[in-house]
Every structure is written in structure tokens, then in C-alpha cells.
Amino acid sequence: MRIVVTGAAGFIGSNIVKGLNARGIDDIVAVDDLTQGDKFRNLADLKIADYVDAAEFYPRFAQGGYGKVEAVFHEGACSDTMESDGKYMMANNYTLSCELFDACRRQGSRLLYASSAATYGGSATFRETPEFELPLNVYGYSKLLFDQRLRRELGPRLVGATTQVVGFRYFNVYGPREQHKGRMASVAFHEFNQFRAEGKVRLFGEYGGYGPGEQMRDFVFIDDVVAVNLWFLDHPDRSGIFNLGTGRAQPFNDVATAVVNALRPGLPGLDAAGAAAQGLIEYIPFPDALRGKYQSYTQADLTALRASGCDHRFADVQTGVARYMGDLTAAPRTGPLP
């Protein structure tokens, strides 16, 4: 079975390669752009058949240059939600994805691709239907437009696809192999580095009707994201656009206390109030640059995912973050952000 993973040196892509390797699958064409050379670390301990630069891959794949490809995990994208160059964003996230979809359809290759919870933006309901899709930035719009293209061509739920097409609306993913992402790395990763450097973590203060650190997100551990991707690989008859989160919103305070407690082994666990009282959590003013562009609450509606037959059980923040802190503490490849 030959598999292509785009964005293979990135966070989710490299973890998918790892998950495939765990199944004994190593006929993998890894596609990425290593201009940021340090990303090679995410592939160094993995088994692949070939590495191809993204600029070379897409035109060659469109011509059938990689033989029979069973499935493409399309994780490659510009994922910087603060990127304001709309032309660049649309070229990377929309146009390139459309070209890849057309090539997959011609060749009979399955397409499992990264959408985003950013498609919901200003909505308070997170269900995979158009009335709730209100992106707040061009990143979210670029992801939504590709979803809309597939709905238009394959039907509202993509059930008309003769070859599997699955879009995953990732919520707030965290876990190993995200060290290259800079400001776009997860809150848990930033807090790990903050605590290691300063002995405290920082959270946004009051905003959007939420108290300090009480803004809530659906935080999903990377191992769960990989498990759901591979479940759909095992079920080629299931197509659609699906939320990929835990279905459980938790406050940023929960992440912070999970980090603090994991990095103070042998000491009594603290709640947010106790950690703040000891100076282990610091609340900072909400940044003006994010006002009006920030989701203060997200929670994946898992109705469609469960209806597909996927019954995977997701880790909560306390469990997932504790596992992640253990990995960060042990892994030499992960250092402080520059």
C-alpha cells in the first residue's frame, strides 16, 4: 500500500507517518517544504520510501508519476491564523488542494485532508453545516472554500464520492512534534517552555465575557487525531466532513494546571486559583491584535463522526497534557522556542 502524506515534516503529518509506521506501513511518499530545515527532526526517526519537495510533487502527482497511490493524507497548508496575505493563503490552502483533489479523482486515490475548526469562526455552534460556518480570518475562509468546493461537486455530505474523500475539522490539537511551529504551537507547548524558563505560565485575562483563563476550547491530543485518521483509512466506504475534537470544551486554566502539576512531580496538585496564588499562573491583558478575531469558546459536535461508526474515545486535557509533558521532558529534539 503506497501512501502519500503532504506536510509530512509538520506536526500532524509527521504523527500520521509515525502512526502508519506503527502498523508496518513504510511505503510512504513524504511531501513537504524544508526551507525551515529544522523540521527534518520530525522525520528523522521515521521510515519513509521517499521525500519529495512540495513544488515538485504536485505537478508530478497530477501526471501519475508516483504509480498507484492508495491514499493521500493532505496535511500540507499555511496554518498561520494571523497570516494576512490572502493571495498566498488561498494559493496554498485552496487552489493547491483543488488541484490535488482533481488528481486524486482521476487516479482513484483516496483523499483524507485537513480542514479546520476555524471554518466556524464567530459561531457558537460547531456542527458541519453551512449555517454555522462564519470564519474570522482568511485562513478559516481558505479551509471553508475547499470544503464548499467538495460539497458542490460531491453532494452536501460527500456521500456521492466514488472514491473516499474525508475532511477533518481539527480543533485545538496539541502534542509531540510541534516544536517547529513558533507562535502557532499549542498553548501546552508554550506553557512548558515558559515554566521551564520562568517558573510560571501566562494566560490571557478577562475577555469575551469570560474570566481570566476561563476562555474554553476543545483541546485534542495528537494521538487521538491520528487514531481517527487511521480509522477512516480502515473504512474506505466512509466519506464526509467531520469535526475532529473531543466534544468536550475545557478552559485554558485546565491546560495551565495540567502543565504546572506535571512539571512539579511529587508536589500536591493545584487548581487554577491555587496556582495563581503561588505565582505559578500569571494572567496578562488580552492583546488588542486578537480582538474580534479570537474564538473564546469551541466544542466539537461529534454527532456526524459517531454516525459514521467511529467510536474512538478521546483523552481529556488532564490526561493528554500529562502525557505530553512527559514526552517534552524526555525528548531531546524539543527545545525552547527561539
Known catalytic residues are 139, 181
> Could you report how far apart the first and last alpha carbons of the chain are, in Å?
39
Widest pairwise Cα distance in the chain: 62
- Single-letter residue type at 239: S
Q: Torsions phi, psi of 253, nearest 5?
A: -60, -35
Q: How far is CA 83 from the centre of its chain?
A: 17
How far is residue 251's CA from residue 213's CA, in Å, rounded to a whole number? Answer: 7
For residue 136, how many other CB atoms are within 10 A of its CB? 17
The answer to whether 171 and 242 are in contact (CB under 8 A) is no
Query: Which grid coordinates belong to 93?
Result: 490552502
Query: Which grid coordinates belong to 197?
Result: 524558563
The answer to whether 247 and 303 are in contact (CB under 8 A) is no
Between the alpha carbon of residue 258 and those of residues 3, 30, 141, 226, the distances in Å are 36, 34, 33, 22
Q: Torsions phi, psi of 116, nearest 5?
A: -160, 150
How far is residue 273's CA from residue 111's CA, in Å, rounded to a whole number? Answer: 46
